Structure 1
């Protein structure tokens, strides 16, 4: 049974259900070209643990070495601003059960996402998830280049609408072909959280769901992987 079939069955039961919007992180995964891939290995293997415990008892303890920009991750103000809130300082309410909307802007139609793409939607004080379809290129060479991105004008409009969070299924919410990052600057400067490298947005309805993306409570860290998810409340009759 594929993901779409599971969702259809759950909807027909009339129950809320969860949709995973995160990529899987594994050893050697490159999220952003030029940044190191994670190293995931055993610190204590099951075989080694058998020498420490009574027969029949074994454990595995993993060792992970990675940068914080790995997989599907959330950006907090500290990522861009020295005095901005870090992961430990952002209120829990900013990460969980946000009223959300998906706006579809296929990369086949445009790579440049403008203010005009948002004007006809009710986005005020919501989490805005931008579905471009670029996640189909995940973990390929194509994923890193010529990806969809927001303009500074679009970011300013989202800021004026007081959105809570902006997510995208692309490599970067900014145009990464140059060194300027106006979208990060505008959104994080307004304490609007950013989630990049989302996936599976095609499995969601346009609205009628909440969005959650909770990172660990790290001090002095402004971005970190999350298990991003949607709780879909819309029931198809």
Structure 2
């Protein structure tokens, strides 16, 4: 069985004030841990500054399954899983919006006249709407004065601790707060696996799709998540004109990734998630290469 340590602590700061904790529990890798190791962990994990004194008391080693799942691993043992769709000239991502146009700006044949014999290049020209393929929404997508792609922090969309919420569309289209309750969500990328990507590139994909409810969005905001993704055409119910989930999440600077794929490949926890778009000024949405990193 795994070992955990239970203890009380009292921390005093050099500029006055302090914090206390009772019955705090922590996963440990061995059968014991010193007071100094606990102090070092608290200061580092809580990112505390100007710590004057830390006291550990009532320390007890208990046998209990670990609550945290370690996602640290060496690069050679990591596995990368692509959870984004491929973009091509026939892709209709949103009903009524155009497919991208991909053509030559400089063809290989034309480039041969510009370079030495045997040297050629290809430069493509791409025309598309920003909401194409698997894409990320920033606050500017919904709010005029919200942060755009050039302003959102990398810490909001890269190397995030991930959790998958299973919400099979065959059982329920409405994903309410009950799907998220009792889960460790704070600071995480919450990826909702509905299985709706099964209908990708079909007319069914656009109609009667799974969605997150407004009440669930409020709960996600309260829990302090970093990002919410879904493998469906929209995170909101599109049967009407209101978009309460976009409104609440983006108002709280919680980013959204729509049109994910392949989330059945991921465990419920124990992975890192990234979805990085180009750094465009004045743009609120753009395609991403969304990846999960598994140890």
Normalised by the length of structure 1, the TM-score is 0.91
Any idea what the Cα deviations from partners look like across 1:103-159, whole Å, max 9, x if unmatched?
Answer: 110101011100111102111221100000000111111111111001100000000
Q: CA deviation at 1:174?
A: 0.3
Q: CA deviation at 1:37?
A: 1.0
Alignment of 1:140-151 (within 5 A): 140-151=202-213
Alignment of 1:120-139 (within 5 A): 120-139=182-201
Q: For residues 171 and 23 of structure 1, what CA distance do their matches in structure 2 show?
A: 12
Q: 2:226 aligns with which of 146, 154, 164?
A: 164
Aligned length: 222
Q: 2:159 aligns with which of 97, 111, 116?
A: 97
SS of residue matched to 1:213: strand
Q: CA deviation at 1:28?
A: 2.4
Q: For residues 52 and 97 of structure 1, what CA distance do their matches in structure 2 show?
A: 41
SS of residue matched to 1:31: coil
Partner of 2:245: 183
**Large movers: runs of 4+ above 6 Å:** none
Whose strand fraction is larger, Structure 1's or Structure 2's? 2
Q: 1:26 aligns with which of 66, 88, 91?
A: 88
Partner of 1:227: 289
1:43 has 2:116 as partner: no
Normalised by the length of structure 2, the TM-score is 0.74
Higher-Rg member (1/2): 2
Gaps of 5+ in 1: 1-10
RCO comparison, higher one (Cα < 8 Å, 6+): 1
CA RMSD of aligned residues (A): 1.4
SS of residue matched to 1:153: helix
1:117 has 2:176 as partner: no
